[in-house]
């Protein structure tokens, strides 16, 4: 891993430097995370065939776009991993329900690391959805206790999923009820924050949009191009026979599409306002990072599976593969290259990477966490990269909190092979008796063909390597022993091996 000073030091010749004579420290960038809520590759800029976010789509040719970025299947787990560089079985924040335990204060967040350990005196701010606060970790004050000098938004689940007429908190205090469309209000708050800060120190800002998470709705007309949309009266239900003004929750619902697409355009419009305004106003470069926290919701999942069982909340790529793109506010900036990268990424990798960019030394990053799952890719950002970061061999995927889903753990390798393990107790609705699913996501991106149906096509050595990786992670999970039995999975794989040997393979 490159240290932060080494990362910044290779930027000589870029416009962001006042001098490259070796006697001055390079100017560190502002770092702004733009987090979309429930945005998978099916509708993401740079990935989707149907362009729903034209501004971000226009940046694809001047950004570093990762085609194989993974996360966990729910927002609490993925955001906590992004902020700590650690998987849910370590930090414990794996459940999205309001009453569930969220991120313990003992965890060191990215905001804390950048604020406290960067030599460049970074100031930190957060906006919008946080979803990591609970009664035991400071409640509405939690973001401030976890490293943010300023936080404005919804730290807990209270009013997080309201786009109009919602309560708003600043630094732990309720400031009142806001009627402005939330996506616009978040951008307003970010711009006000940057314009009101008179000192010239660099900033780390995490901008957490609620969009395009449900409830699905019609955004203000000036933010999208879908024409007048009638008031949405559809309400989600888990009933198999919804009424006229209802739809089945967690199932594909085409009636929602125009509202969902309008939400995407509105989000894109407001991101354009934020990015272009700050790029004009700020006198230092800005590293923008755009990402989704997990896959798209089942009701609007744009894939061939009409029941959308491969969307958010699952370990299929539709649930855990997300957009990730980085770009600089200055096109001539050498610090971010323009490329499409097949490098395997987990959102936990942003913890060491952005800390590195902020100037935090590798030793400080390693010391911040007792066990770090994230791998820095800071050396891969540079346009003149000569010493690329070590590549990942695997990414690890955890099952999420929904007990109705059959998953245990999963993993994917650098060449697209993926293993999903079913929890024997949760998988009772599967009649095939299989506990292992194997997909070649490079050849079969929608994961329609489980390779176990043709076992002799399975690359067994790679499957065994993925199993070893999963077991190595699972063995570190103190809570897994009651239900995770590696031998059950290995036995099924061994049976595959014996079947193929019988056929001379």
Kindly report the average pLDDT of the chain as a whole number: 88
Q: Residue 386: which pLDDT band, with cuts at 50, 70 and 90?
A: low
**Band of residue 388 on the pLDDT scale cut at 50, 70, 90:** low
- Say if residue 20's pLDDT is above 90: no
Residues 132, 322, 258, 247: what is their CA dihedral angle, to the nearest 10 degrees? -60
Q: Which pLDDT value is given to residue 24?
A: 45
Give me the mean pLDDT over the 98-126 stretch: 95
pLDDT band at 503 (very low <50, low <70, confident <90, very high): very low
Q: What values do phi and psi take at 322, rounded to 5?
A: -135, 160
Q: Which CATH architecture has domain 4-392?
A: 3-Layer(aba) Sandwich (3.40)
- pLDDT score of 104 more than 90: yes
388-404 mean pLDDT: 82
- State yes or no: cis peptide before 357, omega within 30 of 0: no
Sequence spans of domains, the chain:
4-392, 406-502
What's the pTM? 0.92
pLDDT in tens, 40-80: 999 999 999 889 999 999 999 999 999 999 999 999 999 99
Cα atoms in the Cβ-side hemisphere of radius 13 Å centred on 94:
17
Show the 3-state SS of 93-107: CCCCCCCCCCCCCCC
What average pLDDT score do residues 23-42 get?
Answer: 86
Contacts of 153 (CB under 8 A, 6+ apart): 126, 127, 128, 129, 130, 143, 168, 169, 186, 189, 208
Kind and range of the H or E run holding 142: helix 142-145
Whether residue 177 is predicted with pLDDT greater than 50 in this model: the reply is yes
DSSP secondary structure letters along 382-400 = STT-SSPPPPPSEEEEE--
Using alpha carbons only, what angle is made at residue 334 by residues 328 and 338, rounded to the nearest 5 degrees?
65
Q: Residue 458: is its pLDDT beyond 90? A: no
∠ CA 249-253-255, rounded to 5°:
125
The pair of structure tokens assigned to 372 is 């770090």
Mean pLDDT of 453-459: 77
For residue 292 the two structure tokens come to: 């989704």
**Rounded Cα–Cα distance for residues 417 and 361 (Å):** 34
Q: Which DSSP symbol is given to 366?
A: H
Q: What is the pLDDT of residues 180-239, one digit of tens each?
A: 999 999 999 999 999 997 788 999 999 999 999 999 999 999 999 998 898 888 898 988
Helices (H), 228-292: 257-281
Average pLDDT for 308-321: 89
């Amino acid at each position: 891993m490159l240290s932060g000073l080494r990362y910044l030091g290779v930027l000589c010749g870029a416009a962001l430097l006042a001098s490259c004579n070796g006697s001055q420290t390079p100017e560190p960038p502002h770092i702004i995370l733009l987090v979309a809520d429930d945005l998978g590759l099916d509708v993401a800029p740079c990935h989707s065939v149907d362009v729903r976010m034209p501004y971000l789509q226009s940046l694809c040719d001047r950004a570093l776009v990762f085609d194989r970025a993974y996360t966990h299947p729910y927002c609490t787990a993925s955001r906590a991993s992004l902020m700590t560089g650690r998987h849910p079985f370590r930090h414990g924040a794996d459940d999205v329900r309001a009453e569930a335990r969220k991120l313990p204060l003992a965890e060191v967040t990215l905001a804390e690391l950048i604020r406290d350990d960067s030599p460049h005196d970074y100031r930190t701010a957060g906006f919008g959805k946080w979803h990591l606060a609970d009664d035991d970790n400071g409640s509405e004050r939690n973001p401030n206790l976890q490293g943010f000098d300023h936080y404005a938004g919804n730290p807990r689940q209270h009013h997080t999923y309201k786009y109009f007429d919602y309560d708003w908190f600043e630094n732990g205090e309720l400031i009142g009820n806001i009627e402005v469309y939330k996506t616009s209000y978040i951008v307003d708050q970010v711009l006000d924050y940057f314009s009101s800060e008179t000192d010239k120190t660099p900033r780390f800002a995490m901008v957490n949009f609620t969009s395009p998470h449900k409830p699905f709705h019609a955004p203000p007309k000036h933010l999208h191009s879908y024409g007048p949309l009638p008031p949405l009266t559809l309400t989600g239900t888990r009933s198999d026979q919804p009424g006229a003004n209802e739809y089945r929750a967690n199932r594909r619902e085409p009636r929602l599409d125009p509202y969902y697409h309008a939400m995407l355009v509105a989000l894109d419009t407001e991101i354009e306002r934020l990015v272009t305004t700050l790029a004009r106003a700020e006198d230092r470069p800005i590293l923008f990072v755009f990402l989704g926290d997990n896959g798209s919701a089942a009701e609007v999942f744009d894939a061939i599976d009409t029941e959308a069982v491969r969307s958010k909340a699952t370990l299929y790529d539709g649930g855990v593969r997300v957009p990730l793109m980085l770009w600089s506010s200055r096109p001539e900036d050498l610090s971010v290259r323009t490329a499409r990268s097949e490098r395997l990424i987990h959102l936990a990798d942003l913890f060491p990477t952005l800390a590195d960019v902020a100037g935090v030394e590798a030793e400080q990053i390693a010391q911040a966490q007792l066990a770090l799952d994230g791998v820095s890719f800071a050396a891969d950002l540079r346009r003149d990269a000569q010493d690329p970061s070590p590549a990942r061999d695997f990414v690890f995927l955890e099952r999420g909190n929904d007990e109705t889903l059959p998953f245990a753990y999963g993993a994917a390798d650098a060449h697209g092979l993926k293993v999903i393990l079913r929890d024997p107790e949760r998988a009772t609705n599967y009649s095939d008796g299989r506990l292992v699913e194997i997909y070649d996501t490079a050849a079969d991106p929608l994961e329609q063909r489980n390779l176990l149906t043709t076992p002799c096509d399975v690359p067994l050595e790679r499957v065994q390597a993925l199993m070893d990786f999963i077991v190595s992670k699972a063995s570190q999970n103190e809570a897994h022993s009651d239900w995770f039995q590696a031998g059950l999975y290995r036995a099924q794989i061994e049976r595959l091996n014996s079947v193929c040997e019988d056929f001379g393979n």
